[in-house]
Structure 1
Amino acid sequence: MSNQNPLFAVVVFFIAYITACIINLKYKITYTSSRCESVDGLRGFLAISVFISHSSTWYQYIQEGKWISLSNLYSQLGSTSVAFFFMISSFLFISKLLNSIEKDFNWKSFFISRFFRLAPMYYFSVGLILLFVMIITDWKLKAGVFEFFHEMFLWGTFTVIRDTSINGFNLTYLINAGVVWSLPFEWLFYFSLPIISLLILKRKPSVFYLLLSLFFIYGFFYTNGVNIQHLLSFVSGALGAIVLKYKLLKNTKNIIYSVLILVCLVLIGQFSKSTNIPCKILITIIFLLVSSGNTIFGILTSPILKLLGEISYSTYLLHGVVLFVVFYFGFGLERAKMLTASEYCMIVFLITPIVVIVSFAGYKFIEKPFMEISKKHTTKN
């Protein structure tokens, strides 16, 4: 079997699903909100899809030293999944604003909850990255004390200012498969919400939050430029919230819509990147239908997919670390280069349960406890 073969993706997802089934037999997750059921199920596919995409890309890196995907399918499993993640974030929080039109929106609680939701697991993953970098560089500072702390400061800000290697190790991005690039866009969206709320809420945010929003938006675009393709994903998510709120799509559980989603998925596979506008339109069509209640023949109602969705943030941040440990420390890049495609696929199959278990542990012991702390703190506010 080749890492470019579609069957590779099917087998990896099947193993991940079975592993989640086993976890679900012993540990029942209490879901954190009453989100749209179909969206919860969708999230279960996304992080595993990113893992599958990066597993395929890792093979190309080992063989050729290039972090690229040679297959539209495996490229889209990564980029389209991230586009969906952006849409889900926008959908959830624009929905909250739409449901708070007549109410006071607690911005302090909102930002506190977002920090407690994203920061603990992120900083844990950065701690792992730092640990591995220091092991590789023999625990010696290669770039000078000031430069080292400057690098850690940039990572501490979720790389909103810019991404960077650590301590002169140019393959730092490889440790987590470079996934942190998407997090600055998440924060951009969160800090944009006070401005966006001016169009929605009757009770407007205070001047403080409006200025905070403007300051962050200006700083983000000043340092990162404007990437309209990713911003469009957030627009699509907001559109999904509006469509659901005002019931602009009727009878979305109809089998015809499920078939339409499958057709769109096939068409997406004809593009190499999700940033292509026709491709973005197809992704948006799928999201509008799913966020309006379509479950794709009932698949998205699976409690196992919901479990995978609940641990998806840990999966997103930690799957690259697992891959790095196995192929950089475990095999070594030179030895790994000698693996045949079939042998490589078998190793990924063995890694998959580890990724799911590590992700579940990250959710249970890091994400969930801090989410509970956040709830107690925001309730007081």
Structure 2
Amino acid sequence: MNNLNPLFALLMILIACLTAYFINLKYKIKYESSRYESVDGLRGFLAISVFISHASVWYQYIQEGKWISKSYLYSQLGSTSVAFFFMISSFLFISKLLNSREKEFSWKAFFISRFFRLAPMYYFSVAIIVLFAMGITHWELKAGLFEFFHEMFLWATFTVIRGSSINGFDFTYLINAGVAWSLPFEWLFYFSLPIISLLILKRKPSVFYVLIGVLFIWGFFYVNGINVQHLLSFVGGALGAVLLKYKPLKNVENPVFSILILICLVLIVQFEKSTNMPCKILITIIFIFISSGNTLFGILKTSTLKLLGEISYSTYLLHGIVLFVVFYFGFGLENAKKLSPSEYCQVVFLITPIVVLLSFVGYKCIEKPFMDISKKYFNKN
């Protein structure tokens, strides 16, 4: 077996699910009635898929020093999963606006809750990245104090302006597998919502929030340029929300829809990246079916996948750090290079339960407490 064999991905998924199953025996998730069951299950699969993709790419990096995937399957496990994450964000919050059409929508509560949701775990992961980068560079400032604080500012703002190495360590992105790149797009979408809401809500947002949204969007595109393909993912999620609200699909749990999803998944693997337009259309079709309630023969509504979905943000931010610790600090890149493909796969299989367990701890000890604080604050006000 090697890192490009489909069996490698399948076994990682099975190990992750088995680990989550045992965790779930002790920890039962309480879902609100408003939650979208199939979407929650999908989220669990996506986070593990990104982990699998990066585990495969790490072997390529160790052997050749190139952060690339030589397999369409493993490339798509990463890029398509992120496209689905964008769609989920868009689907959930456009649905929220559609369901609040006649009501007062609190933008203050929205932005504060988003910060409490994303920031704590992100800053925890950034703290680890900074400690590792400083340790690797022997705790000596390489470019001066001002430059160091500038780097910290860029990371503190979710790399919205741009990513940056830390203290001269050019391979800082390796520490977390470069996953922070997607978070600026999440914030771009959040700041776009006041403008989008002008077309949806009867009670329009104040000029303040619209202006803030316009300024953020202008600044984002001015610095980063316009990436239409990633923006289309958010459009796909919004389309799913609109269809579910006004023209819901009937009999969506029919096996025919599940078979169509599987066919689309097979077709997606024929493309190198999710940014290809036909590929994006296929991803959107799959998402519309799932967001409309299809659970893929019941798989997406299992408690195991829903648990993985609940801890998916921690998984997304921490899995790269675990891989880095094992292969950079644990084995050392030179020794890791001596691992046979089969030995490398075995090491990753042993890592997989650790990633799931750490993600669960991250969710339980960091994510959930801050989400609860946010809810309690707004319930009092």
For residues 143 and 314 of structure 1, the distance between their equivalents in structure 2, rounded to whole angstroms, comes to: 31
Task: Say which SS state the counterpart of residue 104 (structure 1) adopts.
Answer: coil
Report the TM-score, using the length of structure 2 for normalisation: 0.99
Q: Identity rate of aligned residues, in percent? A: 78
Q: Matches of residues 354-373 of structure 1 in structure 2 within 5 Å?
A: 354-373=354-373
2:45 is aligned to: 45
1:126 aligned partner: 126
Alignment of 1:226-237 (within 5 A): 226-237=226-237
Q: Is the 8 A contact 1:31 1:310 kept in 2?
A: no
Cα offset, 1:198, TM superposition: 0.3
Distance 2:38 2:354 in 1: 26
**Cross-structure match for 2:185:** 185
Aligned to 2:296: 296
- Which residue matches 1:312? 312
CA contact (8 A) 1:160 1:220 kept: yes
Contact 1:155/1:163, CA 8 A, preserved across alignment: yes
Scaled by the length of structure 1, what TM-score is found?
Answer: 0.99
Structure 1: distance between partners of 2:330 and 2:341: 18
How many residue pairs get aligned? The number is: 381
Paired residues for 1:153-232 under 5 Å: 153-232=153-232
Alignment of 1:77-156 (within 5 A): 77-156=77-156
The residue aligned with 1:260 is 260
Stretches of 4+ moved more than 6 A in 1?
none
> Is the CA contact 1:41–1:300 (under 8 Å) kept in the aligned structure 2?
yes
Rounded to whole Å, the distance in 1 between the matches of 2:380 and 2:83 is 35
- With 350-359 and 245-254 compared, the bigger mean Cα shift is at 245-254
- Name the CA distance, whole Å, in 2 between partners of 1:17 and 1:32: 23
CA deviation after TM superposition for structure 1 residue 32, in Å:
6.0
Letter paired with 1:208: F
Separation in 2 of the partners of 1:209 and 1:252? Answer: 38
Q: Distance in 1 between matches of 2:6 and 2:33?
A: 34
Matching residue of 2:341: 341
Q: CA deviation at 1:28?
A: 1.8
CA RMSD of aligned residues (A): 0.8
CA-to-aligned-CA distance 1:153-174 (integer Å, 9 cap, x gap) = 0000000000010000001000
Give the match's secondary structure for 1:198: helix
Q: Distance in 2 between matches of 1:138 and 1:34?
A: 50
Q: Which ranges in structure 2 are unaligned for 5 or more consecutive residues?
A: none
Seen in structure 2, the aligned counterparts of structure 1 residues 314 and 33 have a Cα distance that, compared at 3 Å, is farther
- Whole-Å separation in 2 of the counterparts to 1:340 and 1:12: 18
**8 A Cα contact 1:113 1:378, kept in partner:** no
Per-residue deviation, 1:33: 6.7
Counterpart Cα distance in 2 of 1:32 and 1:352? 29
Give CA-to-partner distance per residue, 1:81-111, whole Å, 9 cap, x none.
Answer: 0000000000000000000110010000000
